Structure 1
Amino acid sequence: MPIISPSSIKKDSIKSSSLISPSFKLAATFAKRYYHAAFQNKYIRFINRASKIGISVGVAALIVGLSIMNGFERELKSSLLAVVPDIEFEAVQGSLPNWHATQAAILKNPNVIGAAPYIKVNAMLQQQNDLEAVIIHGVSAKLETSVNATHKYIKAGHWLTQEPVNAVTVATTGINAAQLTDVTSADANKVEAVIGQGLANKLGLSLHDDIELLIPNTSVSGKLAAPKYLKANLVGIYQLGGQMDYGQVYLPLSIIQEKFGWTEQQAEGVKVGLNDPFDAQVLGRQIGSSLHDYVYVLDWFRTNGHVYNDIVMVKDIMYLVMVLVMSVACFNIVSSLTMAIQEKHSDIGILKTMGLTPVIVKRVFVMMGMLTAVKGIAWGILWGVVLTLSIPELLSVIEQLFNVKALDGEVYFIDYLPTELELIQVLVVSVTAFVIAYFATLYPASRASKLSPVELISG
């Protein structure tokens, strides 16, 4: 059995405690002392504090700005994209001959969560003497809920319940045929309609009012004929916010098929819901190429992609601007370090004559600058996180005090300022500020290390 001497234990403990080199410890000691001593000068202290505040403001502003953009991106996905089809496969020639077969082919893709037929047609909604241009959406009441969350935003009334009663519908929806018969026979003469709150307010409509729709019609020769007339009963009013509440009318698919003289198998296209809406462009091409129908592939990037692109562009511009702000603040460190070096000329000269190497001198002033930067970054992270977590409540208080609205729900798809804090972004912002500050300290620190002891003592 080996004998362990006390001297060997002491050596091991020294080795374990000396992971940091003596030169680094020496530089850190001088940096800490010089940092507190040099900034006793009021002017140097002012520039140092200005640098610290600038860095903290830049870091905090970037964290808050990116968090707000994250919030908008989250709301875009959970609100706007929830009611907009991720992909639409629209027939090139009039209509799909058998939308059930097309739907079955689409549902084979594991990334698809739902597929529903539709017919879209431009029309006019007439209410007494008022006419309003609208888009009629002929949809399957049950299948539509798998690709469209509008039914979750019903403010008054209910979502569509009318469904055509046949074997195919029962098989695809899973609804009992007897239940469908009960629903449709309750009031067979009334056509159900669902519209947005904005359109209802504009035309003074309320629940259970009758609305009149004029659908464009063409003759056999292709000339414009008298419009088709359709009367429907308002059974539901939804409220999504923004322009989505205007100009849309949801009707049962079977009613529009009947008006066009189409069979129950025909539809203008099939809309699709995906697990991840941001995969719409890639999956749209993949699924479209596997279909036997000639279809246009329309993903949400074509219709509402400008909203997402605006968010991404603002995020990129914000990051660039804030990095420039942090750069200006960090380069104030150059001024404070230069003046600190000027004050400590004689001290550095004496230390150099005693054997202090240029590398250690450079390291001392790099550490001095980084002390300022680290403090600024720490305060920036603190204020950035606090503001991000409390900004919705703060904005709400400001809106109530000054009777203003930051986001108008009639224009945007939300009426509040959303935020979402991502720790990875906080880390990226912090590292970016740290790297910029490090490069800012190199020039004055290098100049100090290159000065000869004679110049330092005589200067």
Structure 2
Amino acid sequence: MFQPLPLAIGLRYLRARRRDRRISFTSAASILGIVVGVVALITVIAVMSGFQREIRDRLLGSVAHVTVAGYGGPLEDWSTVVDVARQDARVVGAAPYVQREGLLSGTHTRAGIVTGIRPGDERGVSELSTRMRSGSIEDLVDGGFGILLGDQLAMLLGARVGDRINVTLNEFTSTPIGAIPRSKRFTVVGTFSMGEHTADSSFAFIALGDAQRMLRMGEGVSGVRIKVADLWSAGTVADDLATRIPVPVIASDWMRDNRNFFSALALERTVMFLLLSLVVTIASFNLVSSLVMLVQEKQADIAILRTLGLTPRQVMGVFIVQGSVIGFVGTALGVIGGVLLGTNLGAVVRWVEGLLGVTLMPPDVYYITGVPTAVYPGDVAAVAGMTLLLSFLATLYPAWRASRTDPATALRYE
């Protein structure tokens, strides 16, 4: 089917003569349709991948890759857990923490998640130290009763650095007059911005010793947070640590804790891919109509070739070659255009903003500047492979019709 003769004839038909300009135009339109579809598909997938990566990175800046918590209560022997974790080559850092829900009261009152940390260890498991808006993580001194607030939480509380706020944790103390929640006055020593709404509007950090005293936990902690070198191996690391730690623990990782959220993002990305694939499918139908028109115009040529000894299989190969070349050229140009646009979309958006004098993505709304994009080779390969397959399938029916041409009938009126 793909012998040199069908290949040569198929390529020849792509170069239309003066009387066949209509065929040349339909071929160009087919290529353009494929180019537009591929560029649109690659660009949109790149934008969705970029937003997904941005959300994931910001989320992982405020939560641990792996969490090892006490089984049914505080984790007393947390130093052993830290030692076992640090012996694993895949682990970058490990830090104990105490965490409780509570109410924070300043000018206003808001619910929040209060976490006790050790500043030195926290640097190895989160980005808190690099996300400070004011103050420093080192200002959390054991016994100093200082507190770090997310910038959005501080705004909602009406609190600034130096103000004192009341922290009431979800723990109660029995007294002769009944159960009283455990409460303590803290001084705001700094604010941070993780770039993730939940963290910035709900998280507060205090010194580990202060949290242990408030909760009367002694030397116990809620658990140990662990950072791994390869975030995609967090699940395997969590399972391995759970089997090697000598005390009963509950090990989890960021993928399990946020499974529903990332599953929703993956589903949205898949649905968008399928919907935009319709653009490429429409371009393939345009290719079908182009080849059908070409077959109709070349009836006499086909008949002459048949009388000269060209077999139906070779005739079919002629038009498969032509359709495949159109599909290949359109896909190649589309991939080049899509990759270039996907990797430079941020600059394009900034140019459009400057041209129109508007801000398409206000940073105070989206917490990001520009349009994040991520062009992955696997996504590009999937788009290119799908387009080439659809282009090839689009050639089969016109090529089959051409191979069924009867020479006598086609030449009757020539």
- Please confirm whether the aligned pair reaches a TM-score higher than 0.5, indicating the same fold: yes
Write the distance in 2 (CA, Å) between the matches of 1:74 and 1:379.
27
Write the distance in 2 (CA, Å) between the matches of 1:346 and 1:260.
92
Match of 1:101 among 80, 83, 92: 80
The structural deviation recorded for 1:109 is 2.5
Aligned to 1:137: 115
The structural deviation recorded for 1:318 is 2.7
Write the distance in 1 (CA, Å) between the matches of 2:187 and 2:19.
80
Write the distance in 1 (CA, Å) between the matches of 2:140 and 2:287.
71
Pairing of 1:357-368 with structure 2 (within 5 A): 357-368=311-322
The structural deviation recorded for 1:329 is 1.3
| Cα deviations by residue, 1:129-171 (Å, 9 ceiling, x for unpaired) | x11111110111111111111111111111134455xxxxxxx
Aligned to 2:268: 314
Aligned to 1:9: none
Write the distance in 2 (CA, Å) between the matches of 1:443 and 1:38.
25
State the SS of the aligned residue for 1:347: helix
- Larger mean Cα displacement after TM superposition, 267-276 or 155-164: 155-164
Q: Is residue 158 from structure 1 mapped to residue 112 from structure 2 by the alignment?
A: no
User: Could you tell me which amino acid in structure 1 is paired with residue 95 of structure 2?
Assistant: A
Write the distance in 1 (CA, Å) between the matches of 2:383 and 2:211.
54
User: Could you tell me which amino acid in structure 1 is paired with residue 405 of structure 2?
Assistant: L
Contact 1:113 1:146 in 2 (8 A): yes
Q: Is residue 85 from structure 1 mapped to residue 64 from structure 2 by the alignment?
A: yes
State the SS of the aligned residue for 1:142: helix
Contact 2:38 2:383 in 1 (8 A): yes
Aligned to 1:7: none
State the SS of the aligned residue for 2:166: strand
Pairing of 1:396-411 with structure 2 (within 5 A): 396-399=350-353, 401=356, 403-406=358-361
The structural deviation recorded for 1:398 is 4.2
State the SS of the aligned residue for 1:271: strand
Match of 1:259 among 183, 194, 214: 214
Write the distance in 1 (CA, Å) between the matches of 2:55 and 2:159.
29
State the SS of the aligned residue for 2:111: strand
Contact 1:114 1:146 in 2 (8 A): yes
Aligned to 1:123: 102
Write the distance in 2 (CA, Å) between the matches of 1:224 and 1:322.
63
User: Could you tell me which amino acid in structure 2 is paired with residue 132 of structure 1?
Assistant: R
Kindly tell me: are residues 311 and 146 of structure 1, through their superposed partners in 2, closer, same or farther at Cα, counting changes over 3 Å? same
Kindly tell me: are residues 205 and 336 of structure 1, through their superposed partners in 2, closer, same or farther at Cα, counting changes over 3 Å? same
Kindly tell me: are residues 431 and 216 of structure 1, through their superposed partners in 2, closer, same or farther at Cα, counting changes over 3 Å? closer
Kindly tell me: are residues 337 and 405 of structure 1, through their superposed partners in 2, closer, same or farther at Cα, counting changes over 3 Å? closer
User: Could you tell me which amino acid in structure 2 is paired with residue 31 of structure 1?
Assistant: G
Write the distance in 2 (CA, Å) between the matches of 1:368 and 1:419.
35
Write the distance in 2 (CA, Å) between the matches of 1:382 and 1:277.
31
Q: Which sections of structure 2, spanning at least 5 residues, go unmatched?
A: none
Q: Is residue 290 from structure 1 mapped to residue 268 from structure 2 by the alignment?
A: no
The structural deviation recorded for 1:345 is 0.9
Contact 1:122 1:136 in 2 (8 A): yes
| Cα deviations by residue, 1:394-430 (Å, 9 ceiling, x for unpaired) | 22344563644437655x5645421122334323322
Pairing of 1:41-60 with structure 2 (within 5 A): 47-60=26-39
The structural deviation recorded for 1:222 is 12
State the SS of the aligned residue for 1:267: coil
Write the distance in 1 (CA, Å) between the matches of 2:60 and 2:353.
28
State the SS of the aligned residue for 2:138: coil
- Larger mean Cα displacement after TM superposition, 237-246 or 135-144: 237-246
User: Could you tell me which amino acid in structure 2 is paired with residue 342 of structure 1?
Assistant: Q
Aligned to 2:403: 449
Q: Which sections of structure 1, spanning at least 5 residues, go unmatched?
A: 1-20, 165-187
Aligned to 1:234: 188
Write the distance in 1 (CA, Å) between the matches of 2:213 and 2:91.
29
Contact 2:34 2:284 in 1 (8 A): yes
Aligned to 1:25: 4
Kindly tell me: are residues 224 and 426 of structure 1, through their superposed partners in 2, closer, same or farther at Cα, counting changes over 3 Å? farther
| Cα deviations by residue, 1:317-336 (Å, 9 ceiling, x for unpaired) | 23322333312211222211
Match of 1:341 among 295, 318, 330: 295
Contact 1:86 1:280 in 2 (8 A): yes
The structural deviation recorded for 1:436 is 1.4
Contact 1:207 1:236 in 2 (8 A): yes
Aligned to 1:269: 223
Q: Is residue 68 from structure 1 mapped to residue 56 from structure 2 by the alignment?
A: no
| Cα deviations by residue, 1:241-299 (Å, 9 ceiling, x for unpaired) | 22321111100000011112232x31111111111222222322221232233333332
- Larger mean Cα displacement after TM superposition, 394-403 or 203-212: 394-403
Kindly tell me: are residues 40 and 409 of structure 1, through their superposed partners in 2, closer, same or farther at Cα, counting changes over 3 Å? farther
Kindly tell me: are residues 292 and 75 of structure 1, through their superposed partners in 2, closer, same or farther at Cα, counting changes over 3 Å? same
Kindly tell me: are residues 205 and 360 of structure 1, through their superposed partners in 2, closer, same or farther at Cα, counting changes over 3 Å? same
Contact 1:392 1:417 in 2 (8 A): yes
Write the distance in 2 (CA, Å) between the matches of 1:64 and 1:296.
41
Write the distance in 1 (CA, Å) between the matches of 2:251 and 2:58.
23
Match of 1:149 among 122, 127, 133: 127
Contact 1:160 1:252 in 2 (8 A): no
Write the distance in 2 (CA, Å) between the matches of 1:104 and 1:40.
82
Write the distance in 2 (CA, Å) between the matches of 1:287 and 1:112.
10
Identity rate, percent: 28
Write the distance in 2 (CA, Å) between the matches of 1:261 and 1:443.
78
Aligned to 1:420: 374
Kindly tell me: are residues 70 and 147 of structure 1, through their superposed partners in 2, closer, same or farther at Cα, counting changes over 3 Å? same
- Larger mean Cα displacement after TM superposition, 322-331 or 232-241: 322-331
State the SS of the aligned residue for 2:16: helix
Match of 1:36 among 3, 15, 18: 15
| Cα deviations by residue, 1:104-131 (Å, 9 ceiling, x for unpaired) | 1232322221111111111111113x11
Max Rg structure: 1
Write the distance in 2 (CA, Å) between the matches of 1:217 and 1:34.
82
**What is the aligned-residue RMSD (CA, Å)?**
2.8
| Cα deviations by residue, 1:294-316 (Å, 9 ceiling, x for unpaired) | 33333222433344323322332
TM-score normalised per structure 2: 0.89
User: Could you tell me which amino acid in structure 1 is paired with residue 112 of structure 2?
Assistant: V
Contact 2:148 2:189 in 1 (8 A): yes
Pairing of 1:373-384 with structure 2 (within 5 A): 373-384=327-338
